[in-house]
């Protein structure tokens, strides 16, 4: 594999593009918004500068990485000649199905089609393309250039050959791939999201405050950040979307989003991206100031 197309220049998309480009691949970064592409490339520049400052990479490595990335605003143009397409659009099933229908028309039948979805069925996505055996999940973790794990999700029709190719490719990126099967939430979010939801329930039921809940999990369980801080980092809208996918998939009330989470998303309190969630990020992107509604 030499040419990788990445659809979506947001947090996950630009991180995936950065990672492939830094590993020497030619990357075609695609987004319908020129503004999003500019923002994504700015993020890649900033992250590379930070890596240079830390001595992780050289200035020459940074220049090579940037040179490896070409941007496009049209999917058909962007996927031409791609050996692999990684879709990293918003976690919305209809949007993803529409993208894969376009990929079915624009890509060669030999092109492997991957999705970075964190919860949506790979089998459902694969059903809208010819040769669904080439559709697979590559669930990268955020921030992509740093986090080692990649969940490799096999849909019902995903072939052994495609799975093996993607497992080996992930290793070339310096990642640790873990193969899992296609059930709602896969492994990472099936375990993580109920924990986050339970932390929100604990706050909702006034068992303890934001600081206390996060401190217990950090100091008592050895987590690098508390579940409420992590929810803010992920995005509360993303958390509720994943919980809803699992709730719909399993029909089990334990996956139902906490009413507090539902209300916060309705109010636009989405975490870091909106400037406020369980913490207030108006002065700093660090979770240092608790949101006034929880003080």
Q: Is 23 a catalytic residue?
A: no
Q: Is 139 a catalytic residue?
A: yes
Please tell me whether 110 is known to bind a ligand.
no
Please tell me whether 273 is known to bind a ligand.
yes
Q: Which residues of 47-78 are buried (b: 16+ CB within 10 A; e: fewer)?
A: bbeebeeeeebeeeebeebeebbebbeebeeb
Of 14, 87, 116, 139, catalytic: 139
User: What is the rounded distance in angstroms from the CA atom of residue 144 to the CA atom of residue 148?
Assistant: 8
Of 121, 189, 197, 291, catalytic: 189
Whether the upstream peptide bond of residue 143 has omega within 30° of 0, thus cis, is yes
Please tell me whether 142 is known to bind a ligand.
yes
Please tell me whether 155 is known to bind a ligand.
no
Please tell me whether 8 is known to bind a ligand.
yes
Q: Is 118 a catalytic residue?
A: yes
Of 47, 151, 170, 291, catalytic: 151
CA 211 from chain centre, in angstroms, equals: 26
User: What is the rounded distance in angstroms from the CA atom of residue 82 to the CA atom of residue 111?
Assistant: 7
Please tell me whether 11 is known to bind a ligand.
yes
Of 14, 116, 118, 119, catalytic: 118
Please tell me whether 163 is known to bind a ligand.
no
Which residues are bridge partners to 71 per DSSP? 29
Please tell me whether 137 is known to bind a ligand.
no
Q: Is 157 a catalytic residue?
A: no
Please tell me whether 38 is known to bind a ligand.
no
Q: Are 43 and 10 in contact (CB under 8 A)?
A: no
CA nearest neighbour of 176 among 209, 200, 212, 147: 147
Please tell me whether 34 is known to bind a ligand.
no
Please tell me whether 105 is known to bind a ligand.
no
Q: Are 275 and 281 in contact (CB under 8 A)?
A: yes
Which residues are bridge partners to 154 per DSSP? 136, 181
Please tell me whether 96 is known to bind a ligand.
yes
Q: Are 90 and 100 in contact (CB under 8 A)?
A: no
Residues of each annotated binding site for NAD(+) = 8-13, 31, 91, 96, 118, 142, 273
Residues of each annotated binding site = 8-13, 31, 91, 96, 118, 142, 273
Give the residue numbers annotated as catalytic, written as ranges.
Answer: 118, 139, 151, 189
């Amino acid at each position: 594999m030499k040419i990788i197309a990445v659809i979506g220049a947001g947090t996950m998309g630009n991180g995936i593009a950065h990672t492939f480009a830094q590993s020497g691949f030619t990357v075609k970064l695609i987004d319908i918004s020129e503004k999003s592409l500019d923002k994504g490339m700015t993020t890649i520049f900033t992250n590379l500068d930070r890596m240079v400052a830390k001595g992780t990479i050289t200035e020459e490595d940074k220049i090579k990485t940037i040179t490896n990335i070409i941007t496009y605003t049209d999917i058909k143009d962007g996927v031409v000649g791609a050996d692999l397409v990684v879709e990293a659009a918003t976690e919305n099933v209809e949007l993803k199905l529409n993208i894969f229908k376009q990929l079915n028309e624009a890509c060669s039948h030999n092109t492997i089609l991957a999705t970075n979805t964190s919860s949506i069925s790979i089998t459902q996505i694969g059903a809208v393309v010819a040769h669904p055996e080439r559709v697979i999940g590559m669930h990268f973790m955020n921030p992509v250039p740093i986090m080692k794990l990649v969940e490799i999700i096999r849909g019902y029709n995903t072939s052994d050959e495609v799975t093996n190719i993607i497992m080996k490719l992930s290793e070339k990126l310096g990642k640790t791939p873990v193969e899992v099967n296609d059930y709602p939430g896969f492994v990472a979010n099936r375990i993580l999201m109920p924990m986050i939801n339970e932390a929100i329930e604990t706050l909702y039921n006034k068992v303890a405050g934001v600081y206390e809940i996060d401190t217990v999990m950090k100091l008592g369980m050895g987590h690098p950040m508390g579940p409420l801080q992590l929810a803010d980092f992920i995005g509360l809208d993303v958390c509720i979307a994943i919980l809803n996918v699992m709730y719909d998939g399993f029909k089990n009330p334990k996956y139902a989003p906490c009413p507090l989470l539902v209300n916060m998303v309705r109010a636009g309190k989405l975490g870091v991206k909106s400037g406020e969630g369980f913490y207030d990020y108006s002065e700093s992107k660090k979770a240092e100031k608790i949101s006034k509604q929880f003080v």
